[in-house]
Amino acid sequence: MTLTRPSHHTSHGRFCNPPGSPRREGSKGEMWAFIRKQMLSKFNRPIPAGHVLDQAEFRRQLEAASNPSVTWLGHSAFIIRLNGKTILTDPYLGQRAGPVGFGPKRYVPAPISGAELPKADVLLLSHGHYDHLDLPTLRAYRYKEEVTVITPLGLGRYFTQLGYRRVVEHDWWESWQSTGLQITTLPAIHNSGRGLGDRNKTLWASFGIATDEGRIWFSGDTADGPIFDEITAREAPFDLALVAIGAYEPRKLMKGAHINPAEAAALAQKLGAGTAIGMHWGTISLTPENPFEAPELFRDAAERIGLGAENAQVMKIGQTMNLAVGQLSPQSPLSHD
Protein backbone atom coordinates (compact mmCIF):
# COMPACT_ATOMS: atom_id res chain seq x y z
CA MET A 1 0.00 0.00 0.00
CA THR A 2 1.34 3.43 -0.98
CA LEU A 3 0.87 6.14 1.62
CA THR A 4 0.19 9.66 0.38
CA ARG A 5 2.62 12.18 1.79
CA PRO A 6 0.84 15.16 3.41
CA SER A 7 1.18 18.32 1.34
CA HIS A 8 3.16 20.08 4.07
CA HIS A 9 5.80 17.30 4.14
CA THR A 10 8.45 17.71 1.43
CA SER A 11 10.28 14.89 -0.32
CA HIS A 12 13.52 16.09 1.33
CA GLY A 13 12.37 15.50 4.89
CA ARG A 14 11.45 19.10 5.58
CA PHE A 15 8.16 20.94 5.95
CA CYS A 16 6.37 23.64 4.01
CA ASN A 17 3.29 25.80 4.38
CA PRO A 18 -0.17 24.74 3.16
CA PRO A 19 -1.10 25.29 -0.49
CA GLY A 20 -2.11 28.88 -1.27
CA SER A 21 -0.20 30.37 1.66
CA PRO A 22 1.35 33.81 1.15
CA ARG A 23 5.04 33.93 0.35
CA ARG A 24 7.71 36.32 1.46
CA GLU A 25 8.64 38.91 -1.13
CA GLY A 26 12.16 40.26 -1.41
CA SER A 27 15.47 38.55 -2.03
CA LYS A 28 17.53 36.42 0.34
CA GLY A 29 19.99 39.29 0.45
CA GLU A 30 17.28 41.66 1.66
CA MET A 31 16.25 39.16 4.32
CA TRP A 32 19.79 38.68 5.61
CA ALA A 33 20.36 42.43 5.62
CA PHE A 34 17.19 42.83 7.67
CA ILE A 35 18.28 40.12 10.13
CA ARG A 36 21.74 41.63 10.59
CA LYS A 37 20.28 45.09 11.16
CA GLN A 38 17.82 43.81 13.76
CA MET A 39 20.48 41.83 15.60
CA LEU A 40 22.70 44.90 15.86
CA SER A 41 20.00 47.48 16.56
CA LYS A 42 19.34 48.87 20.02
CA PHE A 43 15.85 49.47 21.34
CA ASN A 44 15.45 53.14 22.23
CA ARG A 45 11.72 53.73 22.50
CA PRO A 46 10.10 54.80 25.77
CA ILE A 47 8.12 52.06 27.54
CA PRO A 48 4.53 53.25 28.10
CA ALA A 49 3.54 53.73 31.71
CA GLY A 50 1.80 50.67 33.10
CA HIS A 51 2.95 48.34 30.30
CA VAL A 52 4.45 45.99 32.91
CA LEU A 53 2.87 45.26 36.28
CA ASP A 54 5.12 45.76 39.27
CA GLN A 55 6.18 42.58 41.03
CA ALA A 56 3.85 43.01 44.00
CA GLU A 57 0.79 43.39 41.79
CA PHE A 58 1.88 40.55 39.51
CA ARG A 59 2.23 38.23 42.51
CA ARG A 60 -1.08 39.37 43.99
CA GLN A 61 -2.95 38.69 40.76
CA LEU A 62 -1.19 35.38 40.19
CA GLU A 63 -2.14 34.15 43.67
CA ALA A 64 -5.72 35.37 43.25
CA ALA A 65 -6.21 33.83 39.79
CA SER A 66 -9.37 31.79 39.43
CA ASN A 67 -10.35 29.05 37.01
CA PRO A 68 -10.70 29.86 34.12
CA SER A 69 -8.08 32.59 33.70
CA VAL A 70 -5.04 33.63 31.68
CA THR A 71 -1.83 35.30 32.85
CA TRP A 72 0.36 36.97 30.24
CA LEU A 73 4.10 36.66 30.85
CA GLY A 74 5.03 38.68 27.76
CA HIS A 75 5.47 37.78 24.08
CA SER A 76 3.63 34.45 23.50
CA ALA A 77 4.01 33.08 27.03
CA PHE A 78 0.82 32.48 29.00
CA ILE A 79 -0.29 30.58 32.05
CA ILE A 80 -3.78 29.29 31.19
CA ARG A 81 -6.07 27.80 33.84
CA LEU A 82 -9.02 25.98 32.33
CA ASN A 83 -11.27 23.21 33.64
CA GLY A 84 -8.94 22.59 36.55
CA LYS A 85 -5.89 22.24 34.30
CA THR A 86 -2.85 24.52 34.01
CA ILE A 87 -1.34 25.04 30.55
CA LEU A 88 1.87 26.89 29.68
CA THR A 89 2.45 28.28 26.19
CA ASP A 90 5.79 29.12 24.52
CA PRO A 91 7.58 30.08 27.76
CA TYR A 92 10.21 32.50 26.47
CA LEU A 93 11.45 34.26 29.61
CA GLY A 94 15.12 34.73 28.72
CA GLN A 95 17.09 37.87 27.96
CA ARG A 96 17.87 37.21 24.29
CA ALA A 97 16.18 35.39 21.42
CA GLY A 98 19.28 33.85 19.90
CA PRO A 99 22.24 31.53 20.46
CA VAL A 100 24.93 32.15 23.08
CA GLY A 101 24.21 35.78 23.86
CA PHE A 102 23.35 36.84 20.32
CA GLY A 103 20.00 37.91 18.92
CA PRO A 104 17.42 40.54 19.89
CA LYS A 105 17.28 41.44 23.56
CA ARG A 106 14.03 41.83 25.46
CA TYR A 107 13.41 45.43 26.48
CA VAL A 108 11.16 44.64 29.43
CA PRO A 109 11.99 42.04 32.08
CA ALA A 110 10.05 38.81 32.40
CA PRO A 111 7.81 38.87 35.50
CA ILE A 112 8.89 35.36 36.48
CA SER A 113 11.78 32.98 35.90
CA GLY A 114 11.69 29.49 34.48
CA ALA A 115 12.35 28.03 37.92
CA GLU A 116 9.38 29.94 39.34
CA LEU A 117 6.85 28.79 36.75
CA PRO A 118 3.99 26.86 38.31
CA LYS A 119 3.47 23.14 38.03
CA ALA A 120 1.51 22.62 34.81
CA ASP A 121 -0.42 19.76 33.30
CA VAL A 122 0.55 20.66 29.73
CA LEU A 123 3.23 22.76 28.05
CA LEU A 124 2.51 23.78 24.45
CA LEU A 125 5.42 24.69 22.17
CA SER A 126 4.39 26.14 18.80
CA HIS A 127 7.73 26.10 16.94
CA GLY A 128 11.48 26.15 17.33
CA HIS A 129 12.46 29.81 16.94
CA TYR A 130 14.46 31.23 19.83
CA ASP A 131 11.70 33.56 21.01
CA HIS A 132 9.43 30.54 21.55
CA LEU A 133 11.72 27.57 22.28
CA ASP A 134 13.81 29.11 25.06
CA LEU A 135 16.18 26.42 26.32
CA PRO A 136 17.42 28.23 29.47
CA THR A 137 13.82 28.67 30.64
CA LEU A 138 12.96 25.06 29.82
CA ARG A 139 16.11 23.83 31.57
CA ALA A 140 15.21 25.73 34.73
CA TYR A 141 11.62 24.46 34.88
CA ARG A 142 11.17 22.31 37.99
CA TYR A 143 8.39 19.97 36.88
CA LYS A 144 9.97 18.18 33.92
CA GLU A 145 8.77 14.75 35.03
CA GLU A 146 5.14 15.74 35.62
CA VAL A 147 4.23 18.03 32.71
CA THR A 148 3.12 16.72 29.31
CA VAL A 149 4.85 18.59 26.49
CA ILE A 150 3.06 18.82 23.14
CA THR A 151 5.14 20.01 20.18
CA PRO A 152 5.00 19.86 16.40
CA LEU A 153 7.10 17.21 14.65
CA GLY A 154 10.85 17.30 15.20
CA LEU A 155 11.00 19.34 18.41
CA GLY A 156 10.57 16.65 21.03
CA ARG A 157 14.31 15.92 21.26
CA TYR A 158 14.99 19.33 22.79
CA PHE A 159 12.77 18.37 25.71
CA THR A 160 13.92 14.80 26.17
CA GLN A 161 17.53 15.99 26.22
CA LEU A 162 16.60 18.33 29.09
CA GLY A 163 15.00 15.52 31.10
CA TYR A 164 11.31 15.94 30.25
CA ARG A 165 9.60 12.55 30.53
CA ARG A 166 6.24 13.06 28.85
CA VAL A 167 6.82 14.44 25.36
CA VAL A 168 4.28 14.17 22.54
CA GLU A 169 5.18 15.14 18.96
CA HIS A 170 2.22 15.88 16.70
CA ASP A 171 1.61 16.44 13.05
CA TRP A 172 -1.16 18.87 12.14
CA TRP A 173 -4.69 17.69 13.00
CA GLU A 174 -3.53 15.20 15.63
CA SER A 175 -5.08 15.36 19.10
CA TRP A 176 -4.11 14.47 22.65
CA GLN A 177 -6.62 13.94 25.44
CA SER A 178 -6.61 13.86 29.20
CA THR A 179 -9.54 13.97 31.59
CA GLY A 180 -11.57 17.03 30.66
CA LEU A 181 -9.00 18.40 28.18
CA GLN A 182 -8.26 17.96 24.49
CA ILE A 183 -5.35 19.59 22.66
CA THR A 184 -5.40 19.57 18.84
CA THR A 185 -2.27 20.56 16.94
CA LEU A 186 -3.45 22.73 14.06
CA PRO A 187 -1.80 24.22 10.97
CA ALA A 188 -0.07 27.57 10.95
CA ILE A 189 1.72 29.48 8.19
CA HIS A 190 5.27 30.13 9.29
CA ASN A 191 8.75 28.51 9.15
CA SER A 192 11.33 27.06 11.49
CA GLY A 193 15.05 26.98 12.15
CA ARG A 194 17.63 27.74 14.82
CA GLY A 195 20.78 27.81 12.66
CA LEU A 196 22.10 28.05 9.12
CA GLY A 197 21.39 24.47 8.06
CA ASP A 198 18.12 23.44 9.67
CA ARG A 199 15.52 25.61 7.95
CA ASN A 200 12.10 23.95 8.05
CA LYS A 201 13.43 20.65 9.42
CA THR A 202 10.91 20.92 12.26
CA LEU A 203 7.21 21.71 11.99
CA TRP A 204 5.30 24.75 13.28
CA ALA A 205 1.72 24.86 14.54
CA SER A 206 -1.14 26.58 16.25
CA PHE A 207 -3.22 24.79 18.90
CA GLY A 208 -6.86 24.26 19.76
CA ILE A 209 -7.56 23.80 23.48
CA ALA A 210 -10.97 22.32 24.27
CA THR A 211 -12.71 21.72 27.61
CA ASP A 212 -16.24 21.84 28.95
CA GLU A 213 -15.49 25.37 30.20
CA GLY A 214 -14.68 26.68 26.74
CA ARG A 215 -12.38 26.54 23.73
CA ILE A 216 -9.20 28.53 23.10
CA TRP A 217 -7.16 28.96 19.93
CA PHE A 218 -3.45 29.71 20.46
CA SER A 219 -2.04 31.08 17.21
CA GLY A 220 1.68 30.59 17.71
CA ASP A 221 3.32 32.53 14.88
CA THR A 222 1.35 32.56 11.65
CA ALA A 223 0.47 34.41 8.49
CA ASP A 224 -3.06 34.29 7.07
CA GLY A 225 -4.12 32.01 4.23
CA PRO A 226 -6.71 29.57 2.89
CA ILE A 227 -5.84 26.90 5.48
CA PHE A 228 -7.83 28.88 8.03
CA ASP A 229 -11.00 28.19 6.07
CA GLU A 230 -10.34 24.50 6.71
CA ILE A 231 -9.52 25.09 10.38
CA THR A 232 -12.76 27.06 10.71
CA ALA A 233 -14.78 24.27 9.09
CA ARG A 234 -13.21 21.52 11.19
CA GLU A 235 -12.54 23.13 14.57
CA ALA A 236 -14.41 26.43 15.00
CA PRO A 237 -15.94 28.13 16.82
CA PHE A 238 -13.49 29.03 19.55
CA ASP A 239 -14.48 31.22 22.47
CA LEU A 240 -11.13 32.95 22.92
CA ALA A 241 -8.24 33.54 20.52
CA LEU A 242 -4.74 34.20 21.83
CA VAL A 243 -3.45 35.75 18.64
CA ALA A 244 -0.12 37.26 17.56
CA ILE A 245 -0.33 40.96 16.68
CA GLY A 246 3.34 42.04 16.50
CA ALA A 247 6.47 41.66 14.34
CA TYR A 248 4.82 42.48 11.00
CA GLU A 249 7.09 45.00 9.24
CA PRO A 250 8.59 45.31 6.63
CA ARG A 251 5.45 43.79 5.18
CA LYS A 252 7.00 42.25 2.08
CA LEU A 253 9.42 40.27 4.25
CA MET A 254 6.96 39.40 7.02
CA LYS A 255 3.70 38.71 5.21
CA GLY A 256 4.57 35.05 4.68
CA ALA A 257 5.22 34.47 8.38
CA HIS A 258 3.37 36.98 10.60
CA ILE A 259 -0.11 38.48 10.52
CA ASN A 260 -0.42 42.19 11.23
CA PRO A 261 -2.86 43.55 13.84
CA ALA A 262 -5.72 43.97 11.34
CA GLU A 263 -5.25 40.43 10.02
CA ALA A 264 -5.14 39.16 13.60
CA ALA A 265 -8.55 40.66 14.37
CA ALA A 266 -10.02 39.27 11.16
CA LEU A 267 -8.58 35.82 11.79
CA ALA A 268 -9.97 35.69 15.32
CA GLN A 269 -13.37 36.66 13.94
CA LYS A 270 -13.17 34.02 11.20
CA LEU A 271 -12.49 31.35 13.83
CA GLY A 272 -15.61 32.41 15.71
CA ALA A 273 -13.82 33.81 18.74
CA GLY A 274 -15.99 36.23 20.68
CA THR A 275 -12.86 37.61 22.38
CA ALA A 276 -9.27 37.92 21.17
CA ILE A 277 -6.22 38.72 23.28
CA GLY A 278 -3.21 40.11 21.44
CA MET A 279 0.19 38.54 22.10
CA HIS A 280 3.66 38.47 20.49
CA TRP A 281 4.18 42.18 21.03
CA GLY A 282 5.59 44.60 23.59
CA THR A 283 8.43 42.38 24.83
CA ILE A 284 11.29 42.01 22.33
CA SER A 285 12.21 43.96 19.22
CA LEU A 286 12.08 41.48 16.34
CA THR A 287 11.06 43.93 13.61
CA PRO A 288 11.37 47.71 13.16
CA GLU A 289 7.77 48.90 13.62
CA ASN A 290 6.78 50.73 16.79
CA PRO A 291 5.69 47.78 18.95
CA PHE A 292 3.34 49.90 21.00
CA GLU A 293 1.16 50.78 18.01
CA ALA A 294 -0.05 47.19 17.63
CA PRO A 295 -2.76 47.29 20.33
CA GLU A 296 -4.39 50.41 18.88
CA LEU A 297 -4.31 48.99 15.35
CA PHE A 298 -5.74 45.72 16.68
CA ARG A 299 -8.65 47.43 18.43
CA ASP A 300 -9.34 49.76 15.49
CA ALA A 301 -9.50 46.81 13.10
CA ALA A 302 -11.77 44.86 15.42
CA GLU A 303 -14.16 47.82 15.54
CA ARG A 304 -14.18 48.17 11.74
CA ILE A 305 -15.01 44.53 11.06
CA GLY A 306 -17.68 44.21 13.74
CA LEU A 307 -15.75 42.14 16.26
CA GLY A 308 -15.82 45.17 18.54
CA ALA A 309 -12.90 47.07 20.03
CA GLU A 310 -13.93 45.88 23.48
CA ASN A 311 -13.42 42.28 22.32
CA ALA A 312 -9.87 42.91 21.07
CA GLN A 313 -8.11 42.83 24.40
CA VAL A 314 -4.49 43.56 25.26
CA MET A 315 -2.90 42.83 28.60
CA LYS A 316 -0.13 44.25 30.72
CA ILE A 317 2.88 42.02 31.11
CA GLY A 318 2.26 40.05 34.29
CA GLN A 319 -1.49 40.70 34.26
CA THR A 320 -4.07 38.02 35.04
CA MET A 321 -7.53 38.03 33.49
CA ASN A 322 -10.24 35.92 35.05
CA LEU A 323 -12.65 34.64 32.42
CA ALA A 324 -16.33 33.83 32.22
CA VAL A 325 -17.10 30.13 31.91
CA GLY A 326 -18.43 29.15 28.48
CA GLN A 327 -17.68 32.44 26.73
CA LEU A 328 -14.13 32.88 28.04
CA SER A 329 -14.47 36.65 27.95
CA PRO A 330 -12.80 38.94 30.52
CA GLN A 331 -14.86 38.76 33.65
CA SER A 332 -13.20 39.85 36.88
CA PRO A 333 -11.72 43.01 38.38
CA LEU A 334 -8.27 41.46 37.85
CA SER A 335 -8.68 42.62 34.24
CA HIS A 336 -8.22 46.19 35.43
CA ASP A 337 -5.98 48.20 37.73
Question: Is the backbone of residue 243 left (phi > 0), alpha (psi -120 to 50) or beta?
Answer: beta
Q: How confident is the model at residue 336 (pLDDT cuts 50, 70, 90)?
A: very low
What one-letter code names the amino acid at 297?
A: L
C-alpha closest to that of 196 among 8, 10, 28:
28
Query: Residue 37: its pLDDT value, please?
Result: 76
Q: Under DSSP, is residue 303 helix (H, G, I), strand (E, B) or coil?
A: helix
pLDDT digits (tens, 9 = 90+) for 84-132: 999 999 999 999 998 877 788 999 999 999 999 999 999 999 999 999 9
- Fold designation for 56-319: Metallo-beta-lactamase; Chain A (3.60.15)
Cα 11 from Cα 120, distance rounded (Å): 37
Task: State yes or no: pLDDT of 28 exceeds 80.
Answer: no
Tell me what the mean pLDDT of segment 186-215 comes to: 96
In the prediction, which pLDDT does 334 show? 54
Per-domain residue ranges of the chain? 56-319
Mean pLDDT for all residues in the chain: 94
**Residues 264-275, mean pLDDT to the nearest whole number:** 98
Angle between helices 227-235 and 261-270 (to 10 degrees): 40
